[in-house]
Amino acid sequence: MIPALDATLTVTREKVTLTRTLLAASLAGAPERVLDVSGIDDVALVAPDEYLPGAVRLTCADGTVAVRFAPHQGAEAEFFAEAVRAAVRGETPADDAAAIPVPGLDCVVADVRLRDGNSGPVESVAVAEVADGVAGEEKEISDAAGLADALGSRVLVTHNAQLVLGELVRAGLISGPVSFGCTLALARAARLDPPAEDHTLSGLAEALGVQGEGPARVAGVLAGLARSFGHGGDVADLFHDRGLTLGEVRADGTVYPVLHDLSGAAVAAQRRALAGAGDGADSKTDSGAAAETAKSSGSRAKSSGDSTAGAADTGASAAGAEAGSGSGTAEAETSNAVQEALISTAELSATARNESSGSGKGGKSGKSGGKKGGKSGGSRGPAPWAAVATPDTIPEPNPDADPEGVLFGENVTLTGDFEPFDKGQLWAGLAHHGAKIGKNVTKKTTILVVGSWASTTSKEKRARELQEKGQEIQIWPAADLLAALGLDEEPPF
């Protein structure tokens, strides 16, 4: 399929099918239009430019059909025009959107298979270099040296990256520092029309018209999402422009996930740090700038009446101190400064969520200098885990739930952040589906659901210890739980 302004397009040797978006279908009164290739006399391309839309005009016996393309869809318009011309000549046309280049979208993509599908040890790793959004030759990876050689200094992109990178670290197949992106996080920031049935890799591939398997499918989804945003250029900018930070595997094996940066401070810090990486003294300067960005974010919160701004100041001070120290390499200092900015931003975001729900206490819950907060303007606000606190009351399982449901009778524990949902909402959904809820990982636990967090949580560590001892505990990513509860569905507008 080929994306257009109000439709997706399919071209075969016999026909051209225009499948309209929901809005376009409601306006036209029909979901699609089919043209016989034998009735097409001429194909004319009016290419879109940077500012104006374009069209491919198909001249038929009963009139001219104009297929519109948005200003950023020049490559798609040319690709569609050539596909129709090939069909008119009697040739088999290419209509795989994955073959449409996205200039400047360069990275390495990985397809990682886990033993239990969504959890468990790594079974296989395949990677491919991506140039202009198109995947090259697939390579099988068997050790850390092979992955490091394939990756070089480029960004690694995979689906459900936090889970995958954690398993790669545990398997000894990757060592930091490595920057990475996540197509799952990117998809959640997209507004696909028609929407994907789910945010699994296969669901996104189907929605975006991507064919193939392995790394080629990951690359196709990445490029398809980039095209849906009208993006052309660097892969880091693709995430940053959506308000997402790149994740990172640190040298000590800590995995920092791709995060949604509500304040913009961490994205700005990471842009500066990445721009200065590998530039010697300039990297140190950019590290200080990253720390200053986080600090200024805290100052803005303080000036607007946020009594928790001290948390951001503390993170920024740590980043500034680390950036100014002479120890370690410039790259390590850059990385540390960015991560301190991320932590500061996480604290601000957590506080904002607490206060908007009425749980913030104007600084009274914090402590400063060994004294109770609320007595000093610089009191420290809630830590990032304040937003993921465990509710007091555990709901009872629904006895009338579907016994064939995937959650019925399971003992489920949550760990990490599930923004925009709080644990109370998820607990209610679990109980409705007949699951038993546990606050901690025990020998009764059958499923642990892992949300976003800056490092491996104690609950996840405990679950893996029990797995190694033979206990059957499934470790789910947040996406699987949201799908099971029906919370990953998006409205058709």
Residues in the chain: 493
Q: Are residues 60 and 185 in the same domain?
A: no
Q: What is the pLDDT of residue 100?
A: 73
Q: Does residue 233 form part of some domain?
A: yes
Q: In angstroms, what CA-CA distances link 89 with 267, 408, 489? A: 49, 57, 42
Q: Are residues 114 and 235 in the same domain?
A: yes
What CATH number is given to the structural domain containing 189? 3.30.420.10
Q: Are residues 133 and 237 in the same domain?
A: yes
Output the pTM of the full model: 0.54
Other Cβ atoms within 10 Å of 35 Cβ, number = 18
Residue 66, both tokens: 């104009």
Query: Using CA of residue 343, residue 263, residue 163, residue 112, what is the dihedral sign?
Result: negative
Q: Are residues 10 and 84 in the same domain?
A: yes
Q: Does residue 46 form part of some domain?
A: yes
Residue 363: which residues within 8 A CB-CB, separation 6 or more? 307, 308, 373, 374, 379, 381
Q: Which domain holds residue 455?
A: 411-485
Q: Are residues 256 and 123 in the same domain?
A: yes
CA angle 275, 279, 280 (to 5 degrees): 135
Q: Are residues 112 and 256 in the same domain?
A: yes
pLDDT 10s digits, 192-211? 766 777 788 888 888 887 87
* 249-277: average pLDDT: 84
Q: Are residues 119 and 248 in the same domain?
A: yes
Q: Where are the beta strands (DSSP E) in 206-335?
A: 247-249, 255-256
Q: What is the pLDDT of residue 488?
A: 60
Of 95, 117, 147, the residue at which a domain comes to its end is 95
CA distance 368 to 381: 9
pLDDT 10s digits, 208-224? 878 788 999 999 999 98
Task: Calculate the dihedral angle through the C-alpha atoms of 121, 122, 123, 125, rounding to the nearest 10 degrees.
Answer: 180
Q: Are residues 368 and 433 in the same domain?
A: no
Which phi-psi region, left, alpha or beta, contains residue 399 (left: φ > 0; alpha: ψ -120 to 50)? alpha
Q: Does residue 281 form part of some domain?
A: no
Q: What is the pLDDT of residue 150?
A: 92
Which of 109-118, 278-287, 298-307, 427-436 tops mean pLDDT? 427-436
Of 95, 124, 154, the residue at which a domain comes to its end is 95
Is 60 exceeded by the pLDDT of residue 383? no
Of 146-155, 365-374, 379-388, least confident by mean pLDDT is 365-374
Structural domains in the chain (count) = 4
Q: Does residue 151 form part of some domain?
A: yes
Helix (H, G, I), strand (E, B) or coil at 50: coil
Q: Are residues 120 and 245 in the same domain?
A: yes
What CATH number is given to the structural domain containing 61? 2.30.29.30
Of 47, 62, 95, the residue at which a domain comes to its end is 95
CB 291 within 8 A of CB 316: yes
* 40-57: average pLDDT: 90
Q: Are residues 246 and 127 in the same domain?
A: yes
String of DSSP letters for 5-33: SSEEEEE-SSEEEEEE-HHHHHHHTSSEE
Q: What is the pLDDT of residue 321?
A: 35
Is 90 exceeded by the pLDDT of residue 156? yes
What CATH number is given to the structural domain containing 466? 3.40.50.10190
Q: Does residue 242 form part of some domain?
A: yes
pLDDT 10s digits, 81-92? 999 999 999 887
Q: Does residue 425 form part of some domain?
A: yes
Is 80 exceeded by the pLDDT of residue 114? yes
**DSSP tag of 176:** S
Q: Does residue 100 form part of some domain?
A: no
String of DSSP letters for 347-411: HHHHHHHHHHTT---TTTT-EETTEETTSSTT-B---GGGGGPPPSPPPPP-TTS-TTSTTTT-E
| Pairing state between β 107-114 and 156-158 | parallel
Terminal alpha carbon distance of the chain: 21
Residue 316, both tokens: 């920024």
**Residue (of 448, 439, 440) closest to 467 by Cα position:** 448
Q: How much of the chain, in percent, has pLDDT values that exceed 90?
A: 25
Q: Are residues 91 and 111 in the same domain?
A: no
Other Cβ atoms within 10 Å of 64 Cβ, number = 12
Q: Does residue 82 form part of some domain?
A: yes
- Residue carrying structure tokens 């914090």: 366
pLDDT 10s digits, 453-466? 877 888 899 899 88
Can the peptide bond before residue 93 be classed as cis, meaning omega within 30 degrees of 0? no
CB 322 within 8 A of CB 338: no
One-letter amino acid at 174 equals: I
CB 197 within 8 A of CB 208: no
CA distance 446 to 412: 6
Residue 145 φ/ψ, nearest 5 degrees: -65, -40
Position 44 confidence tier, pLDDT thresholds 50, 70, 90: very high
**Residue (of 137, 70, 134, 65) closest to 97 by Cα position:** 134
Q: Are residues 377 and 302 in the same domain?
A: yes
